[in-house]
Every structure is written in C-alpha cells, then in structure tokens.
Amino acid sequence: MTTDSPAAGGAITRDEVAHLARLARLAVTEEECDVFAGQLDVIIGSVARVGEVAADDIPPTSHAVPLENVFRPDERRPGLTQEQALSGAPAAEDGRFRVPRILGEEA
C-alpha cells in the first residue's frame, strides 16, 4: 500500500482497490473501482471509530443490561403409568414401544 493508505489516515485509492481486486481475483471495471474506493473508505473509517470507542477502562460485557435467569421451582408431579403411555402406541412389546429396525446386527 502507499503512504495514502487508510492506516496512515488517507483515503483508499483506486489503485489500491484495483490491487485488492487482483489479489482476490475479481474482475472490476474502472467505474466499480471508483465506487468501491468510496465504499471501502467509509467502511475503514467506521471500523476506526469503533476502535476508538473500545477503551481500556471499560470492562467487556456480553449484554448491555444485566440478565437474570428466572426458573420455576422443581416440583414432582404425577406422570403416566407404563400402561397409559403405551395405550396409544401403534405397537408395543415387553412394556416398550416397538419400532422398525433401522440398523443391522452391528452390536
């Protein structure tokens, strides 16, 4: 890159866009180089502003506001008996649901 590179504080040039396009093996027209140069300059400036905000005295956060999980208490409740659970099954065998075999005798 040249001394006019964004890292040095200058705007990205058409030549730099063309160079990046060649590295990425992208075919871009002269008009696209002009458009991309402006767009890339805005993107690089935005990233630089974000970098300025991240200060050492600000602790990292995962959420903007504190979160607290709300759980209901565990309570035992009556469930289905084995007979009730199997009553709607299309097929049952030895107190279990019967399903078609999908695996061979590998085990």
Domains of the chain, start order: 6-52 (1.10.20.60)
Burial class (CB in 10 A: 0-12, 13-18, 19+), 36: buried
Model pLDDT, residue 40: 92
Helix axes 14-23, 30-53, angle to 10 degrees: 90
In this model, does residue 41 exceed pLDDT 60?
Answer: yes
* pLDDT greater at residue 65 or residue 42: 42
Tell me the average pLDDT of the chain.
83
Mean predicted confidence (pLDDT) in 13-22? 92
DSSP three-state, residue 86: helix
